Amino acid sequence: MVGVTLGVAGVATVTVLLALSAFFSSTETAIFSLPAEWFERQAAADDPRGHVLKELHDDPHRLLVTLLVGNNVVNIAISSIVTVLIASYLPPGAAIVATTLCTSFLVLVFGEIVPKAFGLGNAEAWSLRVASPVRLVERVLSPLITLFDGITRRMNAYISGDANIEKPYTD
């Protein structure tokens, strides 16, 4: 059984991770829902966030990989922590069912659906607000993102004949 301190730390960590999941999901929806002309206008303005956002948007595949790597690492961590917490209270079979249901509910509601609706409804303001944090994530996770960027570009080129398969969605 997990001690009270470890249990509270686990719940607090899951809460922070859910906020990060919400960040990545809302950001993906916000940025990819805006037309390319909007990014051009932002880059032409005096706001430095517009320049960062335009640079990110200019390589949509790398941007998508950045957001998906961040979101998946966070969601897998959520699942792992919830598994440890629940497995300490339930027998294995019940723990698998409870963990799957609990994690699915938490991630879908708080990490995906509500954040994506928020990102869509606040696309312009949210995109500008998150430009610098996304750039930071892209730099911090650069080796991992570069690896997945290269692998998926090659796979996209092999499957569809186009390594930049996201481009039509950002033009």
Please name the residue ranges forming H helices in the chain.
4-32, 36-44, 48-57, 60-87, 92-106, 114-121, 123-140, 142-160
- Sequence ranges of the domains in the chain: 4-169
What's the chain's length in residues?
171
> Residue 22: which of 87, 65, 71, 88 has the closest Cα?
71
- Give the predicted TM-score (pTM) of the model: 0.89
Collect all residues with Cβ–Cβ distance below 8 Å to 91 and sequence separation of at least 6.
none
pLDDT digits (tens, 9 = 90+) for 77-113: 999 999 999 999 999 999 999 999 999 999 999 999 9
pLDDT digits (tens, 9 = 90+) for 121-151: 999 999 999 999 999 999 999 999 999 999 9
CB 1 within 8 Å of CB 138: no
